[in-house]
């Protein structure tokens, strides 16, 4: 069975990705920071803070020991801190950048050598539409996702000749814990602004990731695919 490693697989979008791939007979390893939430014969949880390079290297090793080479890496681990740019601390900056961009940097650094050796592999980052358009009071988050997009495009150029595809899925508003800070009025306003008139589900993102990981997407690399109901076109 093919092997996918998902960061942030314990909740929200990452969890939906783990469950979808496991259901479709993949071996799934996932990284979580605080709570292990799902586990079965083909789902292997690993505690790991993605912002710490040594932990990431050890976790990738454990995943490979459990299920063999990693065919697909998905980076879903992410955090957001709302606030005015002038209120953010240096620690906020490090926390957001080291998790959202650093997590991608650390995990890709850990899996790329083996993918290059095999001349195959698929990397999919979960970005955000705010990385493209910028969000007021989420400037650190937006900047971290802008870095994700640029890194994905660069890696795609660097790794294409080695048979590795690199893409990002860039969600709009998706119903997970990350949206808990929004009131129902805020959510209604977001729905109003969305041409398809709804908030997205984690499965909307998971199905797009599944497509990008499949042979059907074999000519797609370096793309940032929006899954946002038309919120940002």
**CA 23 centroid distance within chain:** 19
Binding to ligand NDP by residue 45, rule CB under 6 A? no
Q: Is 141 a catalytic residue?
A: yes
**DSSP conformational letter for 215:** G
H or E element, residue 216: none
Min CB(14)–ligand NDP separation in Å: 5
Binding to ligand NDP by residue 5, rule CB under 6 A? no
> Phi/psi zone of residue 83: left (φ > 0), alpha (ψ -120 to 50 degrees), beta?
left
DSSP-assigned letters across all residues of 26-90: -EEEEEESS-----BTTEEEEE--TT-HHHHHHHHHHHHHHH-S-SEEEE---------TTT--H
Binding to ligand NDP by residue 91, rule CB under 6 A? no
Binding to ligand NDP by residue 229, rule CB under 6 A? no
Binding to ligand NDP by residue 107, rule CB under 6 A? no
Q: Which of 30, 32, 141, 210 is catalytic?
A: 141
Spatial contact of 212 and 218, defined as CB atoms under 8 Å apart: no
Binding mask 108-127 for ligand NDP (x = CB under 6 A): ------------------x-
Size of the site for ligand NDP (CB under 6 A): 30
Q: Where does this chain bind ligand NDP (CB under 6 A)?
A: 7-8, 10-14, 31-35, 48-51, 76-79, 99, 126, 128, 171, 173-174, 176-179
């Amino acid at each position: 069975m093919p092997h996918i490693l998902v960061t942030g697989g314990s909740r929200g979008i990452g969890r939906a990705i783990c469950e979808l791939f496991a259901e479709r007979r993949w071996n799934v390893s996932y990284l979580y920071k605080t709570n292990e939430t799902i586990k079965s014969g083909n789902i292997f949880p690993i505690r790991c803070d993605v912002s710490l390079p040594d932990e990431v290297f050890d976790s990738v090793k454990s995943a490979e020991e459990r299920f063999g080479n990693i065919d697909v890496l998905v980076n879903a681990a992410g955090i957001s801190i709302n606030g005015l740019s002038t209120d953010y601390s240096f620690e906020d900056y490090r926390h957001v950048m080291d998790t959202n961009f650093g997590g991608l940097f650390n995990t890709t650094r850990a899996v790329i050598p083996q993918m290059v050796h095999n001349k195959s592999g698929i990397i999919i980052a979960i970005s955000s539409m705010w990385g493209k358009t910028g969000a007021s009071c989420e400037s650190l988050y937006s900047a971290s996702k802008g870095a994700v997009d640029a890194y994905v495009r660069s890696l795609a150029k660097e790794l294409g000749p080695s048979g590795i595809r690199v893409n990002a899925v860039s969600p709009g508003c998706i119903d997970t814990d990350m949206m808990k800070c929004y009131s129902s009025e805020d959510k209604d306003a977001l729905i109003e602004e969305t041409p398809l008139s709804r908030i997205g589900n984690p499965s909307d993102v998971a199905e797009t990731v599944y497509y990008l990981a499949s042979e059907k997407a074999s000519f797609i690399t370096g793309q940032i695919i929006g899954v946002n109901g038309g919120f940002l076109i």
